[in-house]
Structure 1
Amino acid sequence: MTGFADGARPGGPGRAVVVVALRPELREQLFTADAWQRLSRLADPVLVERPDDRSALADALTGADILVTGWGTARLDAELLAAAPRLELLAHTGGAVSPYATRAVFDRGVRVTQAGGAMARPVAEVALAFTLALLHRIHRFDHALRGGVPWAEAGRMPERHQILGCPIGVIGASRTGRAYIGLVRALGAEVTVADPCLGAADAAALGVRVAGLDEVLAASRITAVHAPALAETRHLLGARELALLPDGAGLVNTARSWLVDEDALLAELRSGRIDAALDVYDAEPLPTEHPLRALPNVLLTPHQAAATVEGRHALGDSTVAEIERHLGGRELLHEVGRDALARVE
């Protein structure tokens, strides 16, 4: 379905047209009433409620100046772009733009912005929750008690630790990685980061030490993965790297399963040597018969780390703010270039 938000045909004198290609339920989750009013004051919204319908999207794009994309929006390839002669801006309501933009978008000079920074805090909070759960073996206690293990036996778990003074390793000083660093350091953790792009000045500002990947893995009680999913980071943590984790250590992954060899991780987890807390998987939805579901030393969530009410609203607010900057001729705060297409989703 395609429609005009206020029932009137858009594109009045001096008014930009913004095509919002989002499923209705997602649009409602992202845009508060206040954010939608702000957007409607800035431009005339056109709604595409089946954003994967290329024909409906092409019809809407005919008069569009701005396109708002989100999960499920059809990729803006050369064919769709040809239907959008006026398009100036693609404003993505999530992080990685590679599933929605193509080289043709950048070749045409269409600007691209994204709202991924708004996801950093909720994902970092989940990574913190995972960290605390692994340190205190909460997932193991829960599994034992729900599984009918006798009380005394359920209490005999591996050693537990507090986060104060805990050696924590962070792989990737991304926006989410930095948000996580701030949270765990506030609770007294001692953080070491593996990131070839993190310079001495930034490390000092974050209050962390920089080391190579092998050292971070070998010296950390908890290792949290926050690296980008690029071609060169595919299975950054394989069997060799996972074997470096100390006995009793925990691995937190709220980033992408792309970064960890899932088969190698499963082998380590089956041995009981380490624990893990995961929000991302090679197969999503995670099959009901997947062996990860049965392991007592694994904490699982269904790829929902960023999906807080406040986080979704922050994505919508960020998108509207970028549209406002674009229409006002001001610098975009979250613009990305064609190099963003290298990020794997």
Structure 2
Amino acid sequence: MNDVMRAPTVVAVVSEELFAEFFSDADATRLRVVAESLGGAFVRVDDLADAELSEARIVITSWGIGPFDEAVLATLPTLELIAHTGATIKPFATDELFDQGILVTQAGAGMARSVAEVSLTFTLALLHRVPEMHNALRAGSGWYDAAATGVQREILGARVAVIGASRTGRAYLELIRALGAEPLLVDPTVDARESKALGAELMSLDDALRRAEIVAVHAPTLPETHHLIGRRELALLPDGAGIVNTARSWLVDEAALIDELRDGRLSAAIDVFDEEPLAADSPLRGLPGVLVTPHRAAGTSQGRLRQGRIIVDEVAAFAAGRPLSHVVSRDQLSSMA
């Protein structure tokens, strides 16, 4: 029996463009093999409404998917697993989903290296005053002004406060240690022994901020981490320090940071914002000591393929009755952005 006559058992609600980014030919073939092992076919669609869902046991999702509420779940009577190619599942996870015992897994681990490398890029750029010099040259305001540029520094021996030993935070720690930085770790879930194993000195947030030349935020999104770096915390930083944020804007008080950046006391490199897309009139677009990117830190080709491979591995494990490695529970939703 060919795929045309089989009802889909594995449905990927992923655009054609993103599907090609996430899944190599070999991994796409693996998805078809899994679907056949479940007695049906594999299908890729742009929208759930485009697929026959009566026998779908696995749905693969990407960005833009809507909530799996009672009405949607009614069209998926055999659904057992949702495998999300991204990290956070908040846009689509519902109580009904968990109430029905449907498993949810995600591929956030595949992003860690990509985001960590961008955080390292930002760190080096701020230490070496790249935003100030680049923006000055672009504006045509002269060749070199040491006073305006600020002191240029190497990462060797630089004190870098890492806020959160998340997957990305740990990947970032590995990179900056290899280049000779002196990491200061802030994470209440990590003890001194684990911090030492990570090659970092564990300390309180205030102490780390007072010593830091760079602050890189990698903490989870929790009620208690909202504006973890606020006006008071920013004031603790020494003059010339830099803020690196490739995590979530939730963690840093954007308005307070803009005030510090306007004064020229701090610099910043930011990939995430309170308003996305970033408003055309946002001060962050024009301040001299600021480097901004459009929430693309995880967008490497290798990272995308890692995410896809994680999903295929999870789907294959589920079909074979093996435990999944990246399941997200209802309780874990509160720590997702």
User: TM-score of the superposition, structure 2-length normalised?
Assistant: 0.94
What residue in structure 2 maps to residue 45 of structure 1? 42
Runs of 4+ in 1 over 6 A off after TM superposition: none
Secondary structure at the aligned position of 2:4 is classed as coil
Task: Report whether the alignment pairs 1:8 with 2:30.
Answer: no
What residue in structure 2 maps to residue 172 of structure 1? 164
Secondary structure at the aligned position of 1:336 is classed as coil
What residue in structure 1 maps to residue 62 of structure 2? 70
1:51-103 CA distance string (max 9 Å, x none): 5xxxx06x543221001111011221222112212111110111111112112
Taking the aligned partners of 1:148 and 1:155, their CA distance within structure 2 comes to 17
CA drift of 1:7 comes to 5.4
Return the match for 2:224 from 229, 232, 249.
232
Secondary structure at the aligned position of 1:90 is classed as strand
Task: Determine if contact 1:173/1:195 at 8 Å carries over to the other structure.
Answer: yes
Return the match for 1:88 from 54, 77, 80.
80
CA drift of 1:344 comes to 4.4
Secondary structure at the aligned position of 2:144 is classed as helix
Identical aligned residues as a percent: 50
What residue in structure 1 maps to residue 260 of structure 2? 268
What residue in structure 1 maps to residue 240 of structure 2? 248
1:235-272 CA distance string (max 9 Å, x none): 11111111111100000000000111111010010010
Task: Determine if contact 1:276/1:297 at 8 Å carries over to the other structure.
Answer: yes
What residue in structure 2 maps to residue 299 of structure 1? 291
Taking the aligned partners of 2:71 and 2:188, their CA distance within structure 1 comes to 39
Structure 1: runs of 5 or more not aligned = 1-5
Taking the aligned partners of 1:28 and 1:260, their CA distance within structure 2 comes to 34
Taking the aligned partners of 2:102 and 2:12, their CA distance within structure 1 comes to 16
Task: Report whether the alignment pairs 1:181 with 2:173.
Answer: yes
1:175-215 CA distance string (max 9 Å, x none): 00000000000101111111111123321221111111111
Task: Report whether the alignment pairs 1:102 with 2:90.
Answer: no
Q: 1:328 and 1:341, CA in 2 relative to 1: closer, same or farther beyond 3 A?
A: same
What residue in structure 2 maps to residue 3 of structure 1? none
1:90-143 CA distance string (max 9 Å, x none): 101111111121121111111111100000000000000000000000111111
| Most deviating of 331-340 and 269-278 | 331-340
Task: Report whether the alignment pairs 1:342 with 2:330.
Answer: no
1:124-180 CA distance string (max 9 Å, x none): 000000000000001111111111122133785211111111110001100000000
Return the match for 1:19 from 5, 11, 28.
11
CA drift of 1:313 comes to 0.9
Taking the aligned partners of 1:216 and 1:155, their CA distance within structure 2 comes to 27
CA drift of 1:223 comes to 0.5
